[in-house]
């Protein structure tokens, strides 16, 4: 038994070794594709960065302000008490440079291969010149002086060209924020926004850029369009929402700009986040009819009846919904599947001073008959209509529609709610009432309804 287990283990070992031997290129390719950068700033002010990519491992520690040469190949100054240490391991070999600033400001430079110190001037200086361009593009060391240098030579485009040579979202973001402190014109701002949207993969850092200089980004239609396109690169609902919240709170943004910026919300998949954005817009801003209609349109993308109802009820309660948005509102409401939530919205709709034309009443009744399946909830809506100031034509329309209620109990309750109005109306309204009553099968309920009208 013991020998059998040992043989099984040997066979599995041979199979695993064979698999590794026949597929080395694939495994190596996977290992080469891995790249990882870790940044940390310790409590004592010292920064530490570790980079692992393609078999090469960097470790950079530094403290203080570091100045580099114009060709990015040498370190020319470090603030008092500061230092930088660069260690690179590559397939077993290890090299290290340590540069410190003494009290007089003089730089002390040391170079090590393995554990042995080597001549800095003959070997270390050449290695620093080779490695430093990669270091500065992977970290924020001397970022501000480098941005100033590139900007002085070639303006925003020169800085952006350098940013495009970088891989780290963190570093690209830092450089773009420094560039945004310059006085940039509209075309330069568009280039910054487009570069951020295309180059920065992290939603965290991209959102940080989009929120950093919003008033300038949204100054005109050209920059607004670029801003919207960049925002569409945000895959996280959380960060897309955070950008829109910042937009909403900016009072300098015009209604026309807001209408365009609301398109950013189309990238939000979460019903919770989308409803949060739409309700916050109504809380923070006085909306014109165009933007109220836009909110109604966007609320169609909310799948949850709960969240959609929250938005629609807020539209009714806090905004004077334009009459030309009424049909869009009804169309959005028709997507609500829950009888309970649909009834809650319709009740608020009937309590507000909205369009009460015969056409609008007919559209509402069509919605009730098509979407509200429960006689209980349908009766609530019809009894609410009984309290409205309706014309005789509208009364006839409502009474004819009520015949869709199947329950004798609820049908009688609805007709009794209209009885007073019917008694004060013409014979045409009374005829519509009596015709509706004929749909009641119960003699008891029918008798109550019939006696209520002269």
304-350 pLDDT, tens digit per residue, is 999 999 999 998 887 666 677 777 888 889 999 999 999 999 998 88
411/139 Cα distance (integer angstroms):
75
Out of 110, 138, 166, pick the residue that ends a domain: 138
Q: What is the pLDDT of residue 107?
A: 93
313 assigned to some structural domain: no
Q: Please check whether residues 390 and 377 belong to one and the same domain.
A: yes
What are the phi and psi torsion angles at 58 (to 5°)?
-105, 145
- Asked whether residue 39 falls in the same domain as residue 29, the answer is no
- CA–CA gap between residue 165 and residue 172 (Å, rounded): 9
Same domain, residue pair 79 and 155: no
Residue 169 and residue 200 in one domain:
yes
How many structural domains is the chain composed of?
4
List the one residue out of 348, 352, 351, 353 whose CA is nearest residue 333: 348
Q: How confident is the model over 35-94, as pLDDT tens digits?
A: 455 555 554 567 888 877 666 678 899 988 899 999 999 999 998 888 999 998 876 788
Pair 125, 167 in one domain: no
In a domain, 245, yes or no: no
Residue 121 lies in a domain: yes
Question: Is 107 a domain residue?
Answer: yes
CA distances from 167 to 5, 170, 288 (A): 50, 9, 44
In order along its 454 residues, the chain shows pLDDT tens digits of: 444 544 554 444 444 434 333 333 332 222 223 345 555 555 456 788 887 766 667 889 998 889 999 999 999 999 888 899 999 887 678 899 999 988 777 899 999 998 899 999 889 999 999 999 988 998 889 999 999 999 999 999 999 999 999 988 999 999 999 999 999 999 999 999 999 999 999 999 999 999 988 888 888 888 988 999 999 999 999 999 999 988 888 877 888 888 888 888 888 999 999 999 999 988 888 888 888 888 988 999 999 999 999 999 998 887 666 677 777 888 889 999 999 999 999 998 888 755 566 677 888 899 999 999 999 999 999 999 999 889 999 999 999 999 999 999 999 999 999 999 999 999 999 999 999 999 999 999 999 999 999 8
- What's the N-to-C CA distance of the chain in angstroms? 101
Sheet with strand 47-53: strands edge to edge? 35-41, 47-53, 56-63, 83-90, 93-101, 107-113, 116-118
* Residue 160 shares a structural domain with residue 131: no
Domain boundary pick from 175, 210, 235: 235
User: Do 40 and 130 belong to one domain?
Assistant: yes
240 in a domain, yes or no? Answer: no
Residues 377 and 394 in one domain: yes
Give domain status of residue 445, yes or no: yes
What is the domain range of residue 179?
Answer: 142-235
Q: Are residues 169 and 125 both part of a single domain? A: no
| Counts for the chain of helices (H) and strands (E), in that order | 22, 9
Domain assignment present for 172:
yes
Task: Tell me, yes or no, whether 160 and 231 share the same domain.
Answer: yes
Looking at the structure, do residues 447 and 384 belong to the same domain, yes or no? yes
Same domain as 185, residue 130: no
Neighbouring-strand partners of residue 110: 98
pLDDT value at position 28?
A: 25
Domain annotation covers residue 351: no
Q: Which of 104, 138, 172 is the last residue of a domain?
A: 138
CB atoms near residue 446 (< 10 Å): 18
The pLDDT of residue 23: 38
pTM of the full predicted structure?
0.74
Please, which contacts does 83-89 make with residues 24 or more away whose CB atoms are closer than 8 Å?
84/60, 84/141, 85/59, 85/60, 85/61, 86/58, 86/59, 86/60, 86/128, 86/131, 86/135, 87/58, 87/59, 87/60, 88/56, 88/57, 88/58, 88/59, 88/131, 89/56, 89/57
């Amino acid at each position: 038994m013991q020998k059998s287990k040992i043989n099984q283990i040997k066979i599995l070992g041979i199979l695993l070794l064979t698999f590794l031997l026949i597929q080395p290129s694939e495994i190596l390719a996977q290992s080469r594709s891995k790249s990882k950068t870790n940044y940390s700033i310790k409590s004592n002010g010292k920064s530490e960065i570790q980079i692992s990519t393609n078999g090469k491992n960097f470790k950079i520690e530094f403290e203080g302000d570091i100045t580099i040469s114009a060709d990015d190949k040498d370190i020319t100054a470090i603030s008092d008490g500061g230092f930088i240490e660069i260690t690179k391991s590559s397939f077993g070999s290890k090299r290290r440079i340590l540069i410190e600033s003494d009290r007089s400001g003089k730089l002390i430079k040391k170079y090590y291969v393995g554990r042995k110190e080597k001549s800095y001037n003959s070997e270390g200086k050449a290695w620093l010149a080779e490695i430093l361009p990669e270091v500065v593009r992977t970290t924020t060391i001397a970022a501000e002086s480098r941005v100033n240098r590139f900007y002085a030579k070639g303006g925003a485009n020169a800085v952006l060209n350098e940013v495009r040579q970088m891989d780290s979202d963190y570093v690209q973001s830092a450089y773009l924020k420094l560039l945004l402190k310059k006085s940039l014109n509209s075309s330069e701002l568009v280039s910054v926004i487009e570069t951020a949207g295309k180059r920065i993969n992290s939603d965290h850092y991209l959102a940080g850029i989009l929120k950093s200089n919003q008033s300038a980004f949204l100054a005109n239609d050209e920059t607004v369009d670029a801003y919207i396109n960049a925002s569409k690169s945000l895959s996280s609902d959380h960060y897309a929402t955070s950008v829109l919240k910042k937009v909403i709170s900016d009072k300098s943004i015009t209604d026309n700009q807001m209408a365009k910026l609301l398109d950013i919300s189309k990238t939000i998949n979460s019903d919770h986040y989308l409803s949060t954005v739409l309700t916050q817009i109504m809380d923070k801003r006085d909306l014109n009819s165009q933007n109220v209609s836009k909110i109604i349109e966007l609320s169609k993308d909310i799948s949850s009846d709960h969240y959609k109802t929250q938005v629609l009820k807020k539209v009714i309660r806090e905004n004077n919904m334009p009459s030309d948005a009424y049909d869009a509102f009804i169309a959005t409401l028709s997507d609500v599947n829950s009888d309970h939530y649909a009834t809650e919205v319709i009740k608020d709709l009937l309590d507000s001073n909205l369009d009460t034309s015969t056409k609008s009443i007919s559209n509402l009744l069509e919605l009730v008959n098509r979407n509200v399946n429960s006689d209980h909830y349908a009766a609530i809506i019809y009894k609410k209509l009984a309290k409205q100031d309706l014309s005789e034509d509208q009364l006839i329309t409502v009474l004819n529609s009520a015949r869709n209620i199947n329950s004798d109990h609820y049908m009688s309750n609805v007709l009794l709610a209209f009885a007073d109005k019917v008694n004060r109306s013409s014979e045409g309204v009374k005829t519509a009432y009596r015709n509706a009553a004929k749909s009641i099968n119960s003699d008891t309920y029918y008798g109550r309804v019939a006696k209520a009208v002269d």
